[in-house]
Amino acid sequence: GDVPNTTEISYENTYAEGVEVSTHDVACELSVNGASYGCEFTFELTSDPVSDWSAVQSWLGDIVKAAARTDGSSSEALAKAVDVAIATARSEAKPDANGETPEWASENLKLKTIRVSTPFYPELSVGKNGDATERLQRRLIELGFLEGEADGYYGPQTEAAVKALEGYVRELEQDLIDERPTPTPEPEVTPEPTEHPVVMLPFKYTLSLRPRGARAQEAEDTAAPAAEATQEPVVYAPVTRQDGVADGLLQAYIFSDAYRSARKDLSSGDSGDAVLRLQRRLTAEGCSTDAADGSYGSNTARAVRIFQRYNGLEQTGVADVETQSLLFSGDAKAPDNPMLASGASGANVERLQKRLYELGFSTIGADGEFGAGTKAGVEALQTYLRDREEAKLRAEEPGIAEDADLSDRLSTVVNGVADPILLDEFYSDEFPAVPEMLKDGSTGDDVERLQRRLYALDYFYDATDGAYGAQTAKAVADFQKRNKLAETGVANQTTMQLLFSGDARKALKPYEIRVSTEGQRVYAYAPDENEEYTRLVRTMKCSTGKNSTPTPKGTYKSTTGPGERWHYFKKFTCWAQYTYSIQGDILFHSVLYGSKGGAVTRSSVNNLGRKASHGCVRLSVEDAKWLFENCPKNTTVVVY
């Protein structure tokens, strides 16, 4: 019933000698009661051309629709019903108020052929653009043969996808051939001739009719007669042509329940076109962001587990036939949280960044852009979860060797991609947001999380090494003081509940530094009672960059902090004291020295208050020392 069939009715129209006859084709496609029909009509004209073929097409559409509702059981029944309906409508046509007869009823317009196909799928190839092509593309995307969006344009990509589909159908045909039982011959008995199975391909009925009123000829069955049985061996081979043309039979097959979307199970180590289709579909369903390469590796297995999780299947990471059949169907369900990776942006990224920041996996704020910092935060989270997964596995199986590689048994992949399973776990109430109590001597991932969170809040500046030492304890005590907790330096539950939350207060820097390149002054502001930097506490004369080598303007924080006590400028063969980084090689520093520990150069002292440097900001020795000793790392510096 899914195989397209076509019925054609031809009319033998006769004309007087010398009459010029032209032809015109009209086609319509419609769906009635869930069945699709394609009706094509050829008309012969013997005089003036029809002025409005759209009116003729609309009339034919109404004829076909009415006939299909009652006689749409087959293409033959519908073709005959349309034939009768057209003849009836033309014979009963009446002139309108102006005495004009509809053009479709004119004697100068005669039917040459009626061709009805059902189910109807117009043959599609390069250049055949429109709704039918868009419908085909949507199905090709669903089946993993085409990437991107369905745009209704049958171009090279669609052609290549159809060729890939045709190649797959040929593989299915070969499977059927290979599954045929091979009879074991009996050498002493001459086998009787046997009939071979007949494959029913699309068929066509042709009814040739004489002019109206004449005796109709019997229908001519054009089906090819069955071949006579022969003792010659029959060679079976796939019959689908791999030409990039989507004919009606191919389309009917992929839209039918008979279509087999998978030939065999796929798992790690497999490769080829079947894996390529699987990967394309996993990406389209939001289970992967990797480019489809046809190689079934750990990321593909992870993507399969993601799909299985959200579609109620056992999470094996193996794309068995059941998994593939659901994946390549309209019933496939996408994950709740979309896959996020480098280059992504928007509210979902901002939500992830905020949680990574609050729970100690990232030190950057939330800006909605998935860049290198967010990727590093996701990798830190994945490493944390992977280590916990491995620790749990070792606890369950004490006999595992200490140096045993368990990577093949761990489901978490450290790749910087926030996949749906990872996000589900990260956003759940069960996620270990607050570690156990940590104190001097504690080590491990939770200490590293603690240090990273303290760093993000400007309390901790050492390396996040996972070792709870004196500097970590001091940072915890500073956090406790700032947040009105008991200053113990021990990260107890109360401290960490607040630390790993959106209510944690950042360290209040003692000063904010502002540099006026116009006024050649550096100003230090302290916070007021509202914790805003409005109280001017120190004004310092400076030398910023010359016009040819200006000090770059902007607001700097993540790059600022004390540097070297003495610094040698190799390019200029001079020294300076108390360097403090602004950004890169742009520094605050003292006036210049010809040698370390020697005398200052009078020119650099005399130039204070004027633009004189190569981009750095020079200060008096006293002012440079004050900045060096009183402004901790990540103090905000504004150059304007």
Give the residue numbers marked as catalytic. 589, 616
- CA 410, CA 389: separation in Å to the nearest integer? 7
Token pair of 564, please?
A: 């070297």
SS3 50: coil
What 3-state DSSP class applies to 209?
A: strand
Among 53, 51, 56, 85, smallest CA distance to 68 is for 85
Q: From CA 510, how far away is CA 524, in angstroms rounded?
A: 9
The maximal CA–CA distance of the chain, rounded, in angstroms, is 125
Token duo for residue 441: 């001597």
Find the distance separating the first CA and the last CA of the chain, reported in whole Å.
78
Burial of 405 (0-12, 13-18, 19+ CB in 10 A): exposed
How far apart are the C-alpha atoms of 240 and 263, rounded to whole Å? Answer: 17
**Structure token pair of residue 106:** 């004119």
C-beta contacts of 532-537 below 8 A and 24+ residues apart = 533/636, 537/511
Positive/negative CA dihedral, 224, 225, 226, 227: negative
- What span, in angstroms and rounded, lies between the C-alpha atoms of 621 and 593? 11
Closest residue by Cα to residue 458 from 510, 506, 490: 506
Q: At what angle do helices 445-456 and 372-396 cross, to 10 degrees?
A: 160
Helix H, strand E, coil C: the string for 170-189 is HHHHHHHHHCCCCCCCCCCC
d(CA 137, CA 143): 10
Which residues make Cβ contacts (< 8 Å) with residue 302, sequence separation at least 6? 288, 317, 411, 413, 419, 421
Strand partners, 269: none
285: amino acid identity, one letter: E
Task: Report the DSSP pairing between strands 561-562 and 554-556.
Answer: unpaired
